[in-house]
Amino acid sequence: MARRPEHQAPPEVYYGVDEARKYTQNSRIIEVQERCSERAIELLALPDDTPSMLLDLGCGSGLSGEAITSQGHMWIGMDISPAML
């Protein structure tokens, strides 16, 4: 049985500046995150005529927030990694 990556190395390996840089520069990750964000917003069935305030836990670099903003909503993001904010 495979072990989860986060159990195989210290948190700094996954939440540091180097990982944040890789994440924000990877076009495939950006594309997938944008699609997932748009779908999640669609599933929320938010009202069209009223902006909503959303909380993005684990917001990372804010890719989901960009999708939220582009659809007229507001958001607050929180992440465990200061490097991602």
Radius of gyration of the chain (CA): 15
Q: Is 43 inside any structural domain?
A: yes
Q: Is 3 inside any structural domain?
A: no
Paired tokens of 5: 């990556």
Q: Is 84 inside any structural domain?
A: no
Question: Residue 1 pLDDT more than 70?
Answer: no
Q: Is 4 inside any structural domain?
A: no
Q: Give the pLDDT band of residue 9 (cuts 50, 70, 90).
A: confident
Pairing mode, strands 74-78 and 53-57: parallel
pLDDT of residue 73: 96
Domain that holds residue 34: 11-78
Q: Is 38 inside any structural domain?
A: yes
Q: What share of the chain is helix, strand, coil (3-state, %, to 5)?
A: 50, 10, 40
Q: Is 5 inside any structural domain?
A: no
Q: Is 2 inside any structural domain?
A: no
Domain count along the chain: 1
User: What is the C-alpha separation between 10 and 39, in angstroms, rounded?
Assistant: 32
Q: Is 39 inside any structural domain?
A: yes
pLDDT tens-digit series, residues 14-61: 788 888 888 889 999 999 999 999 999 999 999 989 999 999 999 999
Helix (H) or strand (E) holding 56, with range, is strand 53-57
Paired tokens of 4: 């989860």
